[in-house]
């Protein structure tokens, strides 16, 4: 009997656990560990912002996985021991025969002084829900949306948020009384999409009278003067600030054999296996880069989904004594 442990209850982790449970004999264990009882579908946060979703509709109870034969463990993972093949948590040691790491990226708002005090975190359920309530009574002013640093999960999301906000304020009848600014460290909109897509998005921003600041590094927010300070001596005044926090690799994996600088998990781009035998990783915590440009590949749920499919099916083949045959093609469909 083999035990496959999955760390993380996000898209990649849940897909991997479900595929394993469907493909493995019932005698094999599938264990999923997450510090939270609820899975949050972050892809719908922009619609929560404009009141087209309710918070409860974005969440699912992870203990429900037990009904499928997936053992859910609510615990904080504090480390992994690849020599003795076990996961360390704040509750117990959990042994494994195969390990799938899908913990997601950590968010660190503190890298921008003033973020905690004066910014709505549009990449968190709590922050977006508070923003939804604030926008409900918004009557006009300066709104500044910014990306703290790169890489981030779902690179198109800040642009989606900006366009949805524009449309929402237009329908409320207060868009003419509102100045919207978008600040990004990227060289231009959606650089992974290529020049044509970037030019198209830039045109859409201009047509909607949205101020766009590219190649801009956010330094701090002065909550007293309501100024967002950028490099090159630029300051933006705002009545409402919306921010994407800095993303880091998971802290419990730093200084372990499976990570590189920044805590991102090193994986084979085709099999998602780490440098350790029988240890794999999927999703936002990986160091996947595009093969030609060697820039960060998109970190998004759809990519984590297909990565998890590859990993889970290959593990199932290995457990059954067969040769792994699935390869990740770096596509989301």
**Which parts of the chain fold into alpha helices (H)?**
11-23, 45-49, 115-118, 125-136, 157-172, 195-207, 301-319
pLDDT interval class at 289 (50, 70, 90): confident
144 near 114, Cβ under 8 Å?
no
What is the mean pLDDT of the segment spanning 66-94?
Answer: 97
Please, which pLDDT band fits residue 296 given cuts at 50, 70 and 90?
confident
User: Which pLDDT does position 21 carry in this prediction?
Assistant: 98
Which of 147-156, 168-177, 254-263, 270-279 bottoms out in mean pLDDT, i.e. has the lowest? Answer: 254-263
DSSP H or E segment with residue 279: strand 279-281
How many residues are there in the chain?
Answer: 333
Average confidence (pLDDT) over 124-146:
98
Task: Name the percent of the chain lying above pLDDT 90.
Answer: 91
With 80 as the cut, is the pLDDT of residue 12 above it? yes
pLDDT reading at 188 higher than 80: yes
Cβ atoms of 135 and 50 closer than 8 Å: yes
Kind of pairing, strands 178-183 and 279-281? unpaired
Return the pLDDT at 84.
96
- Residue 292 predicted with pLDDT over 60: no
pLDDT at residue 295 is higher than 80: no
Q: Architecture of domain 108-246 in CATH? A: 3-Layer(bba) Sandwich (3.50)
Q: What is the mean pLDDT of residues 119-134?
A: 98
Of residues 216 and 292, more confidently modeled: 216
Residue 41 has pLDDT above 80, yes or no: yes
State the pTM of this model.
0.94
Tell me how crowded residue 256 is: count the other CB atoms within 10 A of its CB.
16
In the chain, which residues fall in CATH 3.50.50.60? 3-105+249-319, 108-246
Q: Give backbone dihedrals phi and psi of 178, rounded to 5 degrees, phi first.
A: -125, 135
CB-based contact 284:104 (threshold 8 Å): yes
The rounded percent of the chain whose pLDDT value lies above 70 is 97
Say which DSSP state 149 is in: S
User: What average pLDDT does this structure show over 288-301?
Assistant: 75
pLDDT at 194: 87
Check if the beta carbon of residue 148 is closer than 8 Å to that of residue 217: no
Measured CA to CA, the distance from residue 61 to residue 134 in angstroms comes to: 28
pLDDT band at 332 (very low <50, low <70, confident <90, very high): low
- Full DSSP string of 22-47: HHS-TTSEEEEEESSSEEE-GGGHHH
What gap in Å lies between CA 239 and CA 18, rounded to an integer? 45
Q: What is the pLDDT of residue 2?
A: 98
Task: Please give the pLDDT value at position 232.
Answer: 86
Task: Name beta bridge partners: 265.
Answer: 259, 286
Q: Give the phi and the psi of residue 247 in degrees, each rounded to 5.
A: -110, 130
pLDDT band (50, 70, 90) for residue 294 = low
Q: What are phi and psi of 128, to 5 degrees?
A: -70, -35
Do the beta carbons of residue 97 and residue 4 sit within 8 Å?
yes
Instruction: Retrieve residue 176's tokens.
Output: 């003419």
| Tokens coding 254 | 């730093």
**Residue 49 confidence (pLDDT) above 60:** yes
Distances (CA, A) of 42 to 8, 49, 101, 180, 194: 14, 12, 19, 23, 26
Determine the topology of domain 3-105+249-319 in CATH.
FAD/NAD(P)-binding domain (3.50.50)
Task: Work out the average pLDDT over 253-277.
Answer: 93
Q: Does 124 have pLDDT greater than 70? A: yes
| Residue 315 scores a pLDDT above 70 | yes
pLDDT tier at 293, thresholds 50, 70, 90: low
Q: What is the per-residue pLDDT across 189-231, written as a single tens digit (0 to 9) for each?
A: 988 888 999 999 999 999 999 999 999 999 999 999 999 999 9
Average pLDDT, the chain: 95
For residue 288, pLDDT beyond 90? no
What per-residue confidence (pLDDT) applies to 189? 94
Bridge partners (DSSP) listed for residue 227:
222, 237
Of 299 and 85, the structure prediction assigns the larger pLDDT to 85
In the predicted model, is pLDDT for residue 184 greater than 70?
yes
Taking the CB of residue 108, how many other CB atoms lie within 10 A of it? 15
């Amino acid at each position: 009997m083999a035990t496959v442990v999955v760390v993380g209850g996000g898209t990649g982790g849940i897909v991997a656990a479900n595929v394993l449970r469907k493909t493995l004999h019932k005698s094999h264990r599938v264990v999923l560990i997450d510090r939270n009882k609820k899975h949050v579908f972050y892809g719908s946060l922009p619609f929560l912002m404009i009141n087209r979703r309710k918070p409860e509709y974005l969440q699912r109870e992870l203990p429900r996985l037990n009904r499928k034969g997936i053992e859910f463990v609510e615990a904080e993972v504090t480390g992994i021991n690849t020599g003795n093949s076990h996961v360390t948590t704040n509750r117990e040691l959990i042994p494994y025969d195969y390990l799938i790491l899908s913990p997601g990226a950590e968010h660190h708002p503190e890298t921008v002084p003033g973020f905690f005090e004066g910014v709505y975190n549009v990449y968190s359920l709590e922050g977006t829900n508070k923003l939804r309530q604030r926008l409900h009574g918004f009557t006009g002013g300066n709104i500044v949306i910014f990306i703290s640093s790169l890489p981030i999960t779902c690179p198109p999301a800040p642009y989606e948020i900006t366009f949805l906000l524009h449309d929402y304020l237009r329908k409320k009848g207060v868009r003419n009384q509102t100045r919207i600014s978008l600040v990004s460290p990227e060289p231009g909109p959606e650089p992974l999409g290529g020049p044509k897509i970037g030019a198209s998005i830039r045109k859409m921003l201009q047509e909607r009278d949205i101020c766009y600041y590219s190649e801009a590094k956010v330094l701090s927010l002065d909550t007293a003067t309501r100024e967002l300070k950028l490099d090159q001596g630029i300051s933006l005044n705002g009545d409402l600030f919306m921010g994407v926090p800095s993303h880091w690799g998971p802290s419990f994996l730093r200084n372990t054999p499976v990570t590189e600088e920044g805590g991102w998990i090193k994986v084979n781009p085709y099999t998602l296996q780490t440098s350790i035998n029988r240890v794999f990783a999927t999703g936002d915590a990986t160091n996947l880069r595009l093969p030609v440009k060697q820039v960060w590949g998109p970190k998004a749920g759809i990519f984590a989904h297909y990565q998890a499919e590859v990993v889970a099916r290959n593990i199932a083949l290995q457990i059954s004594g067969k040769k792994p045959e699935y390869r990740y093609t770096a596509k989301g469909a």
